[in-house]
Amino acid sequence: MASFSSSSVPLIKLSFVVCFFLTAYAGNFYQDFDLTWGDGRANILSNGQLLTLSLDKASGSGFQSKNEYLFGKIDMQLKLVPGNSAGTVTAYYLSSKGATWDEIDFEFLGNLSSDPYILHTNVFSQGKGNREQQFYLWFDPTADFHTYSILWNPRHIIFSVDGTPIREFKNLESNGVPFPKNQPMRIYSSLWNADDWATRGGLVKTDWSKAPFTASYRNFNAEACVWTNGASSCSSSNSSSSSSSKNNSWLSQELDITGQQRLKWVQKNYMIYNYCTDTKRFPQGLPTECKMS
């Protein structure tokens, strides 16, 4: 089991973290999101600077972004359900619609008070997922807010936590691996009961005496291409000037050597499941992208 110690993470400056772009904006939840379900269990507070989702035995809750995006760096700070969160799932993800949808997932699987959360990640392209990687975190994600980021450009998808990359999914279309690049996606988040599978394969059930369960969100930020009426805010006509080209430089960013080292550190010390090593699950051979990494 991974121990929670912030001192185990040296301070690192990653090449893709500190940037300012024309399409960047710090969010206000009233302006940027709609509360979509939960019958009052989702709430925007503090003049739009804080959002909370709650779950009780009757229902969970959720929200979605007003905007659709086609590429971007999306940051959100979350503080997860504290205490005995077994059976609960807090999902935070990008997704398109339709039978061949694309999706980029963070899911936080609750656990008993003495056990760590599991951070579950997945990437769907053209309706196909089955690309799960799971991690413990090197801190208690219920004690304070932490930043969970998705960098999505035409070449890479990079998941990061507090600026430290934990997963990279590369564009390997040239090798026959579909990559999310044509379907605009919204941001979604929800808190819901999944005690049929979330904790120890469903062996540990939700303790409703601890309800309501609450997760909190703040400091949403999007450096992104907003998709409106079939056009991107990062279209070539908007990026012809040198200033716009500089502002949209994240569209071609990738991990530098330090970022690659941090990624390997996380995967060595905190990864607890990797579909790319699960030979029993793929008896006919591992997926193509696993052989290319």
pLDDT beyond 80 at 255: yes
d(CA 239, CA 50): 33
pLDDT of residue 25: 54
Location of structure tokens 């991690």? 135
- Taking only the tens place, the pLDDT of each residue in 256-271 is 999 999 999 999 999 9
15-24, 166-175, 246-255, range with greatest mean pLDDT: 166-175
CB atoms within 10 A of CB 81: 25
Percent of the chain residues past pLDDT 70, beyond the cut = 86
Residue 122 belongs to a domain: yes
For residue 275, what are the CA distances in angstroms to 120, 122, 140?
Answer: 12, 10, 25
Whole-angstrom distance, CA of residue 23 vs CA of residue 42: 28
Query: Which pLDDT value is given to residue 197?
Result: 80
Catalytic: which of 68, 103, 223, 289? 103
82: tokens are 């504290």
**68, 107, 168, 223: the active-site residue:** 107
Overall number of domains in the chain: 1
If DSSP codes are grouped into helix, strand and coil, which group holds residue 41? coil
Q: Which of 71-80, 213-222, 284-293 has the lowest mean pLDDT?
A: 284-293
- Report CA dihedral (155, 232, 178, 126) to the nearest 10 degrees: 150
Q: Convert the pLDDT of each residue in 199-208 to its tens digit.
A: 878 888 999 9
Domain assignment present for 10: no
Q: Of the ranges 5-19, 75-89, 95-109, 257-271, which one carries the lowest mean pLDDT score? A: 5-19
> Mean of the pLDDT values across residues 39-55?
98
Given pLDDT bands bounded at 50, 70 and 90, which one contains residue 235? confident
Q: Which residues contact 251 (CB under 8 A, 6 or more apart)?
A: 71, 153, 154, 225, 234
CATH number of 116's domain = 2.60.120.200
**Quick check: is 128 in a domain?**
yes
Q: Residue 248: what pLDDT?
A: 76
Over residues 73-86, mean pLDDT: 96
Structure tokens at 187: 């941001």
Range of the domain at 261: 29-229+249-291
Q: Is the bond into 212 cis (omega within 30 degrees of 0)?
A: yes
Examine residue 240 and state whether it is found in any structural domain, yes or no. Answer: no
Q: Is 235 contained in some domain?
A: no
- Domain assignment present for 123: yes
Q: Tens digits of per-residue pLDDT, 93-141?
A: 999 999 999 999 999 999 988 899 999 999 999 999 999 999 999 999 9
Confidence tier at 293 by pLDDT (50, 70, 90): low
Q: Sheet of 133-135: strands edge to edge?
A: 33-37, 61-65, 186-193, 88-95, 103-109, 118-124, 133-135, 271-274
50 bridge partner residues = 45, 218
Residues paired with residue 34 on neighbouring β-strands, in sequence order: 64
Average pLDDT over residues 142-149: 98
For tokens 């939700």, name the residue. Answer: 206
pTM of the predicted model as reported, rounded to 2 decimal places: 0.88
244: enclosing H helix or E strand: helix 242-247
Count of all residues that appear for the chain in the document: 293
Catalytic residue list contains 103: yes
